[in-house]
Chains A and B, each alone.
Chain A
């Protein structure tokens, strides 16, 4: 090709021109190299960005999946601070005592209203609406108390409180107690509730579920029941003439019926050695003035015990002593005790339909009312469980009762109770 160029052309290019051209070519060359480098860098950056994008996408997908999974698991939002729950029980009772006509003796509806204001505050009120054999409907509040969990160890209770004098009254409801009627001491000589305030709680011992429990309270305490008759009983010389003017209700009565409040408490020890195997022992007491004049005390001391051996066997009991002073008859000392044992036949593993749902129960009761009447009562019965809280109970009671307030020699009671 060079041969084709006219020699003049060669001659016409000066060294200067050549050098300038060469410089330009070199400049262009380095520019191209620079561009190439930049291009490579850009490519790398693009690749990195692509990688990052990929990672971000995977992350996002994961996050969405996790969020969905979490949403599926979680309860809908935080739980509300307030909650209102109604529980309770209902009973229909049939009874026939010796020398009396049998019949439906009681229809009872006992709702419990629970209102939780936050994690630590609960208001609970139990009512009793019953229709008795006389055709009378009664409506009463069995307890109405405010519970404030002050801290891990102390709960403050105030109101018309169930009293921890023994354990029966604080642990009863139609679907809890295996015999429809209450033990004599709890029915007749111990108050079930009182108006006042209480501190209670439990302290764990070790890590096996063992604990020490305590309750300490101040309540109005027993009063003189009838403010119109005054200290009628106390001026009577024979205690057997009438029942004393003592009202164990201890509720809101006019202030002069008991000059000072009563104090009381219970200490309990609960020792489980495995689930369904445990022992509980308790000691409780109360003391305070009763009557108008305020120169006599009403006091009580109660021991309680309960044992569970397997899910099938339970035994429990209480031993109660009470004392109260009177002008006319000195100190009157009502006292008594009871033991109850029960066995669920399911423990025999007989696999028989009806038998499996039966529980046998027996109780021995003794009461000396301090006014000349002594009663021994033997109760044998059974509980048939339709469900855990729908029961049929039936009992035969044999009594040996002597004195001015003697009870009938025997009684048959049957009850259907339902806890909801």
Chain B
């Protein structure tokens, strides 16, 4: 019994440590990563499908009412939105670019 528990324990720790190390490693690698170089003049033609980058408003619609009901731009001032978006970015693990666009959208119509 004791022995088995010991073993479970080591395996558990090893798994946790490995997982932890992997995720820390990944995040550090990402931290150092450069944005991918724009492949100007590449031979491949642009894909036919017309795609546009999602706007701040679209990203807001996608992300801002999946954990709670929608909160409207006019509810807070531009400065408060900056603070709240920092909080929500952390809560929702939002990528930087997306939270920046959402913040711009909210600030455009923010209250005074």
Interface residues, chain A, CB within 8 Å of chain B? 75, 79-80, 83-85, 87, 114-116, 119-120, 122, 124, 147, 149-155, 157, 170-171, 173, 175-176, 199-204, 207-209, 211, 213-216, 218, 262-265, 267-268, 272, 275-276, 278, 280, 285-288, 295-297, 299, 306, 308, 311, 325, 330-331, 385, 388-389, 419
Contacts and interface: CB of A to CB of B under 8 A. Distances in A.
B37 interface: no
Interface string B68-91: 111110001011101110110111
A292 to B, nearest CB: 16
A153 B67 contact: no
Given A122-B87, A154-B31, A200 B9 contact: no
B86 A79 contact: no
Given A202-B93, A213-B93, A287-B13, A278 B66 contact: yes
B90 A147 contact: yes
Nearest to A306: B66
B90 A157 contact: yes
Contacts of A116: 82-83, 86
A388 B69 contact: yes
A276 B20 CA distance: 33
B93 A152 contact: no
A147 B87 contact: yes
Contacts of A202: 92-95, 98
B38 interface: no
B90 A272 contact: no
A265 B96 CA distance: 21
Interface residues of B, number: 55
Given A79-B78, A265-B19, A389-B69, A122 B59 contact: no
Interface of B: 1, 5-6, 8-9, 12-13, 15-17, 19-20, 23-24, 26-28, 30-31, 33, 51, 53-54, 58-59, 61-63, 65-72, 76, 78-80, 82-84, 86-87, 89-98
Given A75-B78, A114-B84, A216-B24, A152 B90 contact: no
Contacts of B62: 209, 272, 275-276, 278
B90 A200 contact: yes
Contact of A275 (B16, B58, B71, B83): B58
A157 B86 CA distance: 12
Contacts of B26: 214
A278 B27 CA distance: 25
The interface residues of chain A, by DSSP majority, are classed as strand
Contacts of B94: 202, 211
Contacts of B1: 330
Given A120-B86, A311-B65, 14 more contacts: A150-B31, A152-B97, A153-B96, A157-B90, A200-B93, A204-B97, A213-B93, A214-B27, A215-B93, A263-B17, A265-B23, A288-B16, A306-B66, A308-B66
A390 to B, nearest CB: 11
A296 B5 CA distance: 8
A235 to B, nearest CB: 16
B5 A331 contact: yes
Contacts of B83: 83-85, 114-116, 122
A252 B50 CA distance: 54
17 contacts: A85-B83, A116-B83, A147-B86, A147-B90, A149-B96, A153-B95, A154-B27, A171-B67, A207-B51, A214-B26, A216-B20, A216-B23, A272-B63, A276-B65, A287-B16, A295-B6, A388-B72
